[in-house]
């Protein structure tokens, strides 16, 4: 079993760490919120005060943080991972960040003998909890092969897409489709509701046909139950779509549909719903149409 460090114990990171512990790996963890660290310590992990302290003690060090600046700070900042670098250390980033940031971090870490893998994940909180994530990886093949036993504890599929940054590019492509799915699902549900047809029965009718997709299986039951909590937070979906559009600008790629979808998520954030699930983009359509998928309880 391996000595593994994990930095970032949010909805995704916490689930991943639990599965790594269940698989028998020795975990050292760090997080800004100490309550989440204590929860992992209760399961057998060891706490560390800084990313440097994590890196010094392990063979693999993972990060799972909100955005590119957060990852840069954890890797290159004061008491960062790079200060705890040692021979044989492999760095793996499960965050969703800009591909060019991933390449820059890989170059800086290579200077001190650390192999880096950008390895963003897809599958949401359910995938993190159940160990069924899809992992998109960029970086050296030798480091990837050494890390596969850890990926086996985290997910159901892992693919080496290419060199450093390729995993994040794959995640860009993933988020183009994910954003479109959330908006398409919202439009379909509101169309059924506004037309006076039961959305539950509509989903049952179409989910086995050409419209079938992961979001059709996972999101409607939560929405029908009135559960709009994350999941995958709307502000993170908005951030990821920003990365998509930045990448498109870098390479001169027109993505008009994705630009519109990001604007819909901008509207959702402006409504104060940034902490809701990305499927709660339906709130924007409810506001536009005056139709509610789940009618509010008027007795309250």
| pLDDT tens, residue by residue, 153-206 | 999 999 999 999 999 999 999 999 999 999 999 999 999 999 999 999 999 999
Residues 6+ apart with CB under 8 A from 150: 2, 4, 20, 25, 60, 92
What CATH homologous superfamily does 3-162 map to? NAD(P)-binding Rossmann-like Domain (3.40.50.720)
**How far is Cα 107 from Cα 139, in angstroms, rounded to an integer?**
11
* Count of other CB atoms within 10 angstroms of residue 72: 17
Q: Where in the chain is the domain with CATH 1.10.1040.10?
A: 169-289
Angle at 44 between CA 39 and CA 50, to 5 degrees: 70
Residues 297 and 191: their CA atoms lie apart, in Å, by: 22
pLDDT digits over 207-240, tens only?
A: 999 999 999 999 999 999 999 999 899 999 999 9
3-state helix, strand and coil shares in percent for the chain, rounded to the nearest 5: 55, 15, 30
Q: Is the dihedral of CA 239, 148, 114, 21 positive or negative?
A: positive
Show the beta-strand stretches assigned E in the chain: 3-7, 26-30, 46-47, 60-63, 90-93, 115-118, 121-122, 133-138, 155-162
pLDDT, tens digit only, all 300 positions of the chain:
999 999 999 999 999 999 999 999 999 999 999 999 999 999 999 999 999 999 999 999 999 999 999 999 999 999 999 999 999 999 999 999 999 999 999 999 999 999 999 999 999 899 999 999 999 999 999 999 999 999 999 999 999 999 999 999 999 999 999 999 999 999 999 999 999 999 999 999 999 999 999 999 999 999 999 999 998 999 999 999 999 999 999 999 999 999 999 999 999 999 999 999 999 999 999 999 999 997 655 444
- In terms of Cβ atoms closer than 10 Å to its own Cβ (0-12, 13-18, 19+), residue 296 is exposed
- The residue annotated as part of the active site, out of 36, 98, 171, 233, is 171
Tokens of 105: 């971090």
Provide the token pair at 225.
Answer: 């139950």
Radius of gyration of the chain (CA): 20
Looking at the chain, which residues constitute the CATH 3.40.50.720 domain(s)? 3-162
Give the residue carrying structure tokens 């059924």: 192
> In this predicted structure, what is the pLDDT of residue 298?
46
249 is catalytic: no
Number of residues that this document lists for the chain = 300
Class of domain 169-289: mainly alpha
Determine the pLDDT at residue 294.
73
Q: How is residue 25 annotated by DSSP? A: -
Instruction: Please state, in angstroms and as integers, the Cα–Cα distance from residue 235 to each residue in 29, 194, 229, 258, 270, following that order.
Output: 25, 27, 12, 15, 10
């Amino acid at each position: 079993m391996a000595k593994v460090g994990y930095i970032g114990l949010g909805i995704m990171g916490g689930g991943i760490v639990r599965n790594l512990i269940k698989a028998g790996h020795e975990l050292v963890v760090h997080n800004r919120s100490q309550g989440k660290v204590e929860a992992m310590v209760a399961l057998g992990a060891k706490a560390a005060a800084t990313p440097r302290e994590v890196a010094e003690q392990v063979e693999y060090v993972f990060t799972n943080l909100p955005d590119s600046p957060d990852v840069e700070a954890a890797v290159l900042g004061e008491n960062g991972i790079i200060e705890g670098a040692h021979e044989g250390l492999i760095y793996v980033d499960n965050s969703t960040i800009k591909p060019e940031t991933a390449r820059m971090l890989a170059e800086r870490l290579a200077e001190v003998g650390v192999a880096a893998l950008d390895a963003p994940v897809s599958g949401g909180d359910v995938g993190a909890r159940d160990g069924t994530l899809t992992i998109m990886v960029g970086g050296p093949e030798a480091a990837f092969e050494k890390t596969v036993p850890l990926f086996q504890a985290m997910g159901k599929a892992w693919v080496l897409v290419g060199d450093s940054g390729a995993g994040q590019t794959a995640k860009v492509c993933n988020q183009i489709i994910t954003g479109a799915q959330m908006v398409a699902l919202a439009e379909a549900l509101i169309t059924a509701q506004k037309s006076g047809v039961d959305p539950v029965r509509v989903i049952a009718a179409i989910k086995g046909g050409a419209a079938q997709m992961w979001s059709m299986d996972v999101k409607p039951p939560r929405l029908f139950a009135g559960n709009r909590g994350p999941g995958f937070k709307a502000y993170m979906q908005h951030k990821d779509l920003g990365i998509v559009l930045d990448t498109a600008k870098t390479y001169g790629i027109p993505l008009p549909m994705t630009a519109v979808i990001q604007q819909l998520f901008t509207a959702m954030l402006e409504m104060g719903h940034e902490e809701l699930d990305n499927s709660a983009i339906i709130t924007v359509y409810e506001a536009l149409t005056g139709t509610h998928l789940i009618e509010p309880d008027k007795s309250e």
